[in-house]
Amino acid sequence: MPQRTSDSLHAAIIMDGNGRWATARGLPRVAGHRAGAEALRRTVEAAPDLGVGTLTVYAFSSDNWQRPPVEVSALMKLFHVYLRREQARCIEQGVRVSVVGRRDRLPRMLLPVIEGCEQATERGRKLHLRLAVDYSSRDAIVRAAARLKKQATRDDLSKALGGEDVDLLIRTGGEKRLSDFLLWECAYAELVFTPVMWPDFDASHLAAALAEFRSRERRFGTVPKVALG
């Protein structure tokens, strides 16, 4: 995939470790998810000044429906609260909010809140915040290919998926896998794995990940610049 020419980066984050963070403190798992929502606010506020133009975060995977119903219900309520609470702040800070993933399985009470937040923030130009909810990359690729109904090129499929190539993927919580997140878009992403649990993630951790990203040479299949000299 070609290197993006924009000065702003597309960063993606697998926000992992909420439950373990809470358990280690003797708290219910939902307390970790609430703390994770605060970490997301900190990250969104810091991202533009660190050169991030698009931020896609993995909020709820399609496989997460297999979690205990009580936890799933609490997460859906948290999404509802987060979108309503943060909408005014996003407008003020120039943050455009989009939700990617399936919507047909989400609670009906959540849908107008999603649509309202997307419409209210659509003029935001400082940062595009994409929340992946009920999201599976493999399912998204299958749906995009089915919509094309022709011999598709890479560009066709990229447009059908509706997302930019990811420059930097960060996963918190110590795990080292992609977990069905932005598989197509991350074809040439730089990967940074950190043991920091998501509720503890802040601007300094984001800055450190971006510094590591900028220290790497991105070759996109070519040979190192030294070899060309």
Say what the pTM is.
Answer: 0.91
Residue 91: name the closest of 109, 64, 70, 118 by CA: 118
pLDDT tens for 191-203 read 999 999 999 999 9
pLDDT tens for 90-123 read 999 999 999 999 999 999 999 999 999 999 999 9
Show the DSSP H helices in 128-172 as ranges: 137-148, 154-161
In a domain, 4, yes or no: no
In a domain, 122, yes or no: yes
In a domain, 106, yes or no: yes
In a domain, 1, yes or no: no
In a domain, 2, yes or no: no
In a domain, 133, yes or no: yes
Interior/surface letters 139-153, b for 16+ CB within 10 angstroms, e for the rest: ebeeebeeeeeeeee
Answer for the pair 146, 175: CB distance below 8 angstroms, yes or no: no
Q: What is the DSSP string of 116-182?
A: HHHHHTTT--SEEEEEEEEE-HHHHHHHHHHHH-S---HHHHHHHHT-PPPSEEEE-TT----TTSS
Q: What CATH number corresponds to the domain at position 180?
A: 3.40.1180.10
Per-residue confidence of the chain (229 residues) as pLDDT tens digits?
A: 333 434 799 999 999 999 999 999 999 999 999 999 999 999 999 999 999 999 999 999 999 999 999 999 999 999 999 999 999 999 999 999 999 999 999 999 999 999 999 999 999 999 999 999 999 999 999 999 888 877 788 899 899 998 789 999 999 999 999 999 999 999 999 999 999 999 999 999 999 999 999 999 887 777 666 555 5
Instruction: Domain count for the chain, please give it.
Output: 1
Please identify every residue annotated as catalytic: 16, 64
Range of the domain at 30: 9-228
In a domain, 15, yes or no: yes
- pLDDT attached to residue 1: 36
